[in-house]
């Protein structure tokens, strides 16, 4: 069987299902009142494991209502002085649950809380744990009119501002994948840098010109992004009844989930196949087609720039024919950076990661894991030993050298 073509068929089926589900299926994302404490991420995934957790809502400057959770360890009794805040920013098609998807001993969110950090969890617009918009409905095109550029400029910056002002303390930042694009773009702005103590980036992405994911490259060459936009499909939601059903049957019959995931993310060494059903209860989360379009633009052009509206659109919006680039050299040398990347990662390719590092003024501390793929950095059953212990060592060295 020619795998390349079966994957593109799979993707098309999945996308076709997205088109139908909003009409034919009773799949409600927005009508759920997640504001009710008993339906939030805290109640579903975190409190049941014995942690104290509170739900917060952050309104972005452009009106989106984002769910943010704060976790501290519940079983150790009262902490006299809360540890420094650390903010976790998930990746594309993921939500804050990604940091808690494995066991207490394996998941970064729980590990940081156990270690005494004041853990804050971000959820971007459109995800299951965010609460919509103060005036727009998720059914409206305008609700989905954004890409990672707005996620950096509004969502990340506004969530960090919230944590910074509530805790009265600079924030340690952790991002994975799209969370690192957001972080790198936001950190070129002094307003964000001033609130960040140090940043740890898992699978750092700014350039995407060397992406090697077969499935993604095929979608790029098919111009799937432009096709979907032309079809008027502005929300990308793989999590429909029928989408999950197709995924299930594909996993049962034709290929295992590990290899499907590999086709998208690169081969993951330490993915727990028996946990797929659990992951699928929460992932994937919706995103916007415009976001995929922006990412595909980066793949086609090999740049790290704002959304390309076409020559005239750019002129109107940016005052230039081409969209302005994000200048990584604007991230100050004084900001401590740590990056972890993998030899099998088909999305954050080593060549692109090296390109990112070259453009930075600061010399980030690096952790390279030859056997790791894109998802391993968040779901590997060995991630604590391989990645998180080192990440915390880095944060602790920054704590010692600052005021803590
Ligand atoms: C639609 O979903 C809601 C909420 O899950 C449920 O209460 C309702 O019975 C469903 N309606 C149909 C027609 O399935
Ligand atoms: C893999 O997932 C299964 C099902 O959730 C779980 O029982 C098992 O402990 C997991 N293995 C590891 C090494 O975490």
Sign of CA dihedral 369, 371, 375, 376: negative
Burial of 232 (0-12, 13-18, 19+ CB in 10 A): exposed
Whether residue 300 has its Cβ less than 6 Å from ligand 2? no
Give the residue-averaged pLDDT of 322-330: 97
In the chain, the domains with their CATH numbers are 3-401 (3.40.50.1820)
Tell me how far apart the alpha carbons of residues 287 and 147 are, in angstroms, rounded to a whole number: 9
Question: What's the number of CA atoms in the CB half-sphere (13 Å) around residue 172?
Answer: 21
Which residue's alpha carbon is nearest to atom 2 within ligand 2? 275
State the ligand closest to the CA atom of 32.
1
Q: 238-294: per-residue pLDDT in tens?
A: 765 544 554 455 445 444 555 667 777 888 999 898 898 888 888 889 999 999 999
Residue 12 has pLDDT above 70, yes or no: no
Q: How far apart are the first and last CA of the chain?
A: 58
Where is pLDDT greater, at 216 or 189? 189
By most ligand atoms within 8 Å of CB, the mutation choice from 271, 274, 282, 386 for ligand 2 is 274
User: Which contacts (CB < 8 Å, 24+ apart) does range 142-147 have?
Assistant: 143/234, 143/235, 144/234, 144/235, 144/288, 144/289, 144/290, 145/234, 145/288, 145/290, 146/288, 146/290, 146/291, 147/288, 147/290, 147/291, 147/293, 147/294, 147/295, 147/307
Tell me how far apart the alpha carbons of residues 393 and 236 are, in angstroms, rounded to a whole number: 38
Tell me how far apart the alpha carbons of residues 390 and 311 are, in angstroms, rounded to a whole number: 45
Q: 66-76: per-residue pLDDT in tens?
A: 999 999 875 55
Q: 332-378: per-residue pLDDT in tens?
A: 999 999 999 999 999 999 999 999 999 999 899 999 999 999 999 99
Whether residue 214 has its Cβ less than 6 Å from ligand 2? no
Q: Which atom of ligand 2 sits closest to the CA of residue 272?
A: 1
Q: Which atom of ligand 2 sits closest to the CA of residue 103?
A: 14
Q: 83-98: per-residue pLDDT in tens?
A: 899 999 999 999 999 9
Which residue's alpha carbon is nearest to atom 9 within ligand 2? 103
Contact 211, 349 (CB under 8 A): yes
Which residue's alpha carbon is nearest to atom 4 within ligand 2? 275
Res 79: pLDDT:
54
- Give the residue numbers annotated as catalytic, written as ranges: 177, 345, 374
Share of the chain above pLDDT 70, in %: 82
Whether residue 56 has its Cβ less than 6 Å from ligand 2? no
Whether residue 277 has its Cβ less than 6 Å from ligand 2? no
Owner of token pair 């799937």: 224
Tell me how far apart the alpha carbons of residues 55 and 171 are, in angstroms, rounded to a whole number: 18
Contact 285, 94 (CB under 8 A): yes
Sign of CA dihedral 195, 125, 86, 385: negative
User: What is the distance in A from the centroid of ligand 1 to the CA of 19?
Assistant: 20
Whether residue 280 has its Cβ less than 6 Å from ligand 2? no
Q: Is 130 helix (H, G, I), strand (E, B) or coil?
A: coil
337-342/287-288 β-pairing: unpaired
Residue 172 has pLDDT above 70, yes or no: yes
Residue 122 has pLDDT above 70, yes or no: yes
Q: Poorest-confidence range of 133-147, 213-227, 369-383? A: 213-227
- Give the residue among 341, 357, 339 at the shortest CA–CA distance from 349: 341
Give the residue-averaged pLDDT of 39-63: 94
Cβ partners under 8 Å of residue 28, min gap 6: none
Give the residue-averaged pLDDT of 130-149: 96
Q: pTM for the whole thing?
A: 0.86
State the ligand closest to the CA atom of 102.
2
By most ligand atoms within 8 Å of CB, the mutation choice from 257, 275, 277, 386 for ligand 2 is 275
162's tokens: 């919230």
Whether residue 272 has its Cβ less than 6 Å from ligand 2? yes
């Amino acid at each position: 069987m020619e795998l390349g073509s079966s994957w593109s068929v799979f993707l098309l089926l999945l996308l076709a299902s997205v088109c139908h589900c909003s009409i034919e299926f009773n799949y409600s994302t927005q009508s759920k009142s997640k504001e009710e404490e008993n339906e939030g991420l805290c109640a579903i995934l975190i409190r049941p494991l014995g942690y104290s957790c509170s739900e917060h809502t952050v309104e972005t400057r452009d009106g989106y209502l984002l769910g943010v959770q704060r976790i501290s360890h519940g079983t150790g009794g009262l902490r006299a002085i809360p540890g420094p805040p650390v903010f976790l920013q998930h990746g594309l098609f993921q939500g804050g649950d990604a940091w808690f998807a494995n066991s207490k001993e394996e998941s970064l969110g729980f590990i940081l809380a156990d270690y005494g950090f004041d853990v804050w969890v971000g959820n971007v617009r459109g995800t299951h744990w965010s609460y919509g918009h103060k005036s727009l409905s998720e059914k409206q095109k305008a609700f989905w009119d954004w890409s990672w550029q707005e996620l950096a400029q509004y969502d990340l910056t506004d969530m960090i501002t919230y944590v910074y002002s509530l805790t009265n303390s600079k924030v340690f930042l952790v991002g994975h994948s799209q969370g690192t694009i957001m972080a790198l773009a936001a950190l070129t702005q002094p307003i964000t840098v001033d609130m960040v103590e140090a940043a740890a980036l898992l699978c750092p992405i700014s350039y995407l010109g060397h992406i090697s994911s077969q499935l993604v490259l095929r979608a790029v060459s098919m111009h799937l992004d432009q096709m979907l936009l032309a079809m008027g499909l502005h929300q990308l939601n793989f999590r429909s009844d029928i989408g999950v059903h197709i995924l299930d049957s594909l996993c049962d019959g034709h290929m295992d989930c590990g290899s499907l995931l590999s086709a998208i993310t690169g081969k993951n060494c330490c993915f727990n196949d028996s946990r797929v059903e659990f992951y699928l209860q929460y992932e994937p989360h919706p995103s916007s087609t415009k976001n995929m379009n922006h990412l595909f633009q980066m793949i086609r052009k090999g740049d790290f720039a704002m959304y390309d509206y076409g020559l005239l659109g750019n002129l109107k919006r940016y005052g230039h024919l081409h969209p302005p680039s994000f200048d990584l050299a604007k991230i100050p040398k004084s900001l401590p950076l740590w990056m972890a990347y993998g030899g099998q990662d088909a999305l954050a390719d080593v060549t692109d990661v090296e390109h990112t590092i070259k453009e930075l003024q600061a010399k980030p501390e690096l952790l390279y894991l030859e056997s790791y793929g894109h998802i391993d950095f968040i779901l590997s059953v060995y991630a604590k030993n391989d990645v998180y212990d080192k990440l915390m060592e880095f944060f602790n060295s920054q704590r010692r050298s600052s005021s803590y």
